[in-house]
Structure 1
Amino acid sequence: MPAIAKTNDLITVIIIFVVEPEQQQELIDTIIEFIDNAVKYQPGFVSASLHKSLDGIRVMNYAQWQSLEEYYTFLDNSEVQAQGKKLANFNPPDLHIFEVIVSQPENAPLEINQGDLIHLAEFRVKPENQQRLVELEKEYIGVALQNPGLISANFHRSLDGTRTMNYGQWRSLEDFELLLQDPKYKPLSEYWQGLAENEFHLYEVVFTKSTTN
């Protein structure tokens, strides 16, 4: 199964599509077709994990590649990209390349499995503020992990300096809602203010494909 690359040995590409709810499943089916017919055969491909947001307006692909060079070769291959031409029928995605900077707790299972519940906190930041935001994320991760329903928190830093992402794995929707309601977690909604724009969505993992399955 795909696993979050805590050791930074892999390149992580997070691709987020914004869709109308009635288009969400069609987009998922289109991406799966592209992965199965073309992407999974490309040199350097490691995994692709599709997530659908519970509010119906996002589809996210958490993809992994062996190296930047192999990923860029995939992007530059016009014959391969032509096999994904149906994706042009949807809004262009927000796509960034990331490295995993911290995964906590240390003993957390980092596998991505179909049916998992995750939240993705998206932080849009100016490059000059990214490092400070990363430092604060490392500082406050312990507060979030006081919630026993949070299996792991996995912070990512984009190589272009404009994003950080927290991929949080949860036991249940009820556990996540407690995080929003309990006053002791209030600092988690404040630490990034003045540094970044933030939004989050809850997702279910609906498809995984990797070189090991």
Structure 2
Amino acid sequence: MPTIATNNEVATAIVIFNVEVERQQELIDTIAEFYDKGKQQPGFVSANIHKSLDGVKVANYAQWKTKEDFENFINNPEVKKKAAKIIEFNPDIHVYEVVISEYKEGIPKIDKKYIYHFAEFKMQPENQPRMIELAQENVVKAMKLPGLVSANFHRSLDGTRVINYGQWSNQEAIENLKKQPGFGSDPYWEGIAENEHHLYELILSVNND
């Protein structure tokens, strides 16, 4: 079962798709078929496919042994050919490292028992260090709330993204977080980053084992 940690010796690739509600399942099926045939690629560790509860997003949280392994994968002409239908959905692809991981139930494992959120923070590269500082300051407050199991902040290596990949025990707890100062009104990232977040369920995990 994949785990998340700041000292993981893996490269994390997070791929997020915007999708029309009526095409969400089509995209999921296409990704599943692709990994069923291609999971033996050199350096592949895991892929974890999530669908947003509102139907407008699909997200893949993938791990590779190295950044170079992932880049070789996506730049491989044969892979591009097999992934042509997926690419039509215009994925937002970045390589990340885990910079903050706070948790209540031990080192986070990617498991279907949780509700997930991807909080997508987009920013200018010069703002990424400050965004991470603010996240570290505020995640401590969030973790005191019941229902939040883990919060895992990732910074993109190109400086333009920070993603919080969070695990929750129930949806009501997420609504409670939105009522807290700095998370609903006057968000702590105001002026530093733009944020979009959706709730997801994990529907498929593919591991190279």
2:118 corresponds to: 120
1:66 corresponds to: 65
Q: Which amino acid aligns with 1:58?
A: K
Q: Which amino acid aligns with 2:183?
A: L
Q: Which amino acid aligns with 2:14?
A: I
Write the mapping of 1:25-40 to structure 2, written as runs, cut at 5 A. 25-38=25-38, 40=39
Distance of 2:45 and 2:82 partners within structure 1: 19
2:51 corresponds to: 52
Q: What is the TM-score normalised by the length of structure 2?
A: 0.94
Structure 1 contact 108–152 (Cα < 8 Å) conserved: no
How far the C-alpha of 1:76 sits from its partner, in A, is 2.1
Structure 2 contact 131–189 (Cα < 8 Å) conserved: yes
2:85 corresponds to: 86
* Segment of structure 1 superposing worse, 190-199 or 100-109: 100-109
Distance of 2:112 and 2:86 partners within structure 1: 23
Does the residue aligned with 1:174 lie in a helix, a strand or coil? helix
How far the C-alpha of 1:174 sits from its partner, in A, is 1.4
Structure 2 contact 49–61 (Cα < 8 Å) conserved: yes
Distance of 2:181 and 2:106 partners within structure 1: 24
1:135 corresponds to: 133
User: Residue deviations 1:95-130, cap 9 Å, x none?
Assistant: 111000011037534111135311111100111111
1:15 corresponds to 2:5: no
Amino-acid identity (%): 50
Q: What is the TM-score normalised by the length of structure 1?
A: 0.92
* Greater helix share, structure number: 1
Structure 2 contact 5–107 (Cα < 8 Å) conserved: no
How far the C-alpha of 1:4 sits from its partner, in A, is 1.6
How far the C-alpha of 1:2 sits from its partner, in A, is 1.6
Distance of 1:86 and 1:127 partners within structure 2: 31
RMSD, aligned CA? 1.4
Q: Which amino acid aligns with 2:140?
A: G
Alpha-carbon spacing, 1:115–1:56, altered in 2? closer, same or farther (3 Å): farther
How far the C-alpha of 1:211 sits from its partner, in A, is 2.1
Uncovered stretches (5+) of structure 2, i.e. residues with no partner? none
Moved over 2 A (4+): 105-109
